Amino acid sequence: MADPTGNQLEAADGYARELAAFTDALHVLHVDRGSPSYRAIAAAAAAEGRVSLSSSAISEAFNGKRLPSLDFTLELIRQLAGPDHGVREQWRERWKRVKLHQRQAAAHRRQSQSRRGDDEISPQNPPGSAHAVLPAARLEAELIIKDAQAQAEAIIESARLRADEMTASATQMLLNATEGGTIPAAARLQMREHSRIILVGPPGSGKGTQGPFLSKLLQVPLIHLGELFRSNISGGTKIGKQAAKYMNRGELVPDEVSLGMLTDRLSHPDTRHGFLLDGLPRNLNQAEAVDDLLAAASAKADAALNIDIGRDEVFRRLVGRRICKNDSSHLAHIMYATPKNYGLCDVCDGPLYLREDDTRQVIGMRWDVWKKQSEPVVQKYGAEGRLVTISGIGTISVITERAISALTAYFG
């Protein structure tokens, strides 16, 4: 006789796997569209008078909290992938498959509950017996679990705040440290009138990791192209609306729109003494345009910091990377930051997954694009004597120190 509990667990696990795959595919579409904010997606659907897509419901769909309705799913796909009928039909079938697993899991759960009810209150287990009070015990257990979850969330938030404090403290210690009575390298860089630095390097080289550390040490803002898009679109700026129109049509955003966002950002007073630029330029045309943009303000990029790693290391880093489904800012790596519990996030115990754009095939394509389009940008800065190259192999702190030392030596 089949084990009903085992069948229930198997059905629930099947539904969880299908829902996770469904959510992963949504994440890929979202990234391919340029990661527009949930509010921008909802506003675009509302403007077209179609199915209502609230920001909270979109968040639940992307985080895999529950399977959205079919109408909601198809409208979300329309906003992310455009009006292609074939794509929507593929997603209709994908949704039906997840829904089938959901119904199977629910049916097994109802059967199991029915069996438990028969067992708990029966001629052998009359009301008042130990078996009859099991429902009350389960209710109490659920309340205890909810209370524990609330406490865990408070602990996690406290840990995040503590981590921020430790980062700030470590940064200050580095700035205050002395080496044989000399002024620390980071402090010497701060004495410059301005430090305008462009971050370059292949995918997975660590630009996104090093950017925030270098920004704090150099005391200049980090300007990331992706963040410019998010802030302008979510803020409903004029140029953000222009970008959203292209993205909603599934088209590439023209360089002039990206450069327009950069022009506006560089007009802010916090960039007066410099900046770190990440995500732009990605090709020679954009590099020339950035030079022209800065020249119009009687300025220029002082240096391009090239974080250099080889093709094999790119594959090791990206193929081994795992993202937390609960919070995409929580990262793990099967080699360099192995989670304590296999498949679970160390921070929140959420499930870890491999992004579809971190597969070998996609990484190979990204490497080829970088070699063809972006490496000539690195060569351009080298020919102009503005290139500072460091190895991207090592721990985060070692690479940060390496970058600061190299920039100090470059500027003299």
Active centre residues (catalytic) = 207, 282, 321, 355, 366
| Helices within 82-206 (DSSP H only) | 85-120, 134-176, 185-190
77 closest CA partner among 53, 56, 112 = 53
Residue with structure tokens 């506003």?
A: 43
**Cβ neighbours for 331, distance < 8 A, ≥ 6 positions apart:** 321, 322, 323, 324, 337
Dump the DSSP string for 56-98.
HHHHHHHTTSSPPPHHHHHHHHHHHH-S-HHHHHHHHHHHHHH
Alpha carbon distance 397, 390 (integer Å)? 13
Largest CA distance in the chain: 91
φ/ψ of residue 328, rounded to 5? -65, -10
The strand ranges marked E within 201-347 are: 222-224, 274-278, 303-308, 321-324, 331-333
Decide: helix, strand or coil at residue 3. coil
DSSP 372: I
Distance from C-alpha of 336 to C-alpha of 319, rounded to nearest angstrom: 12
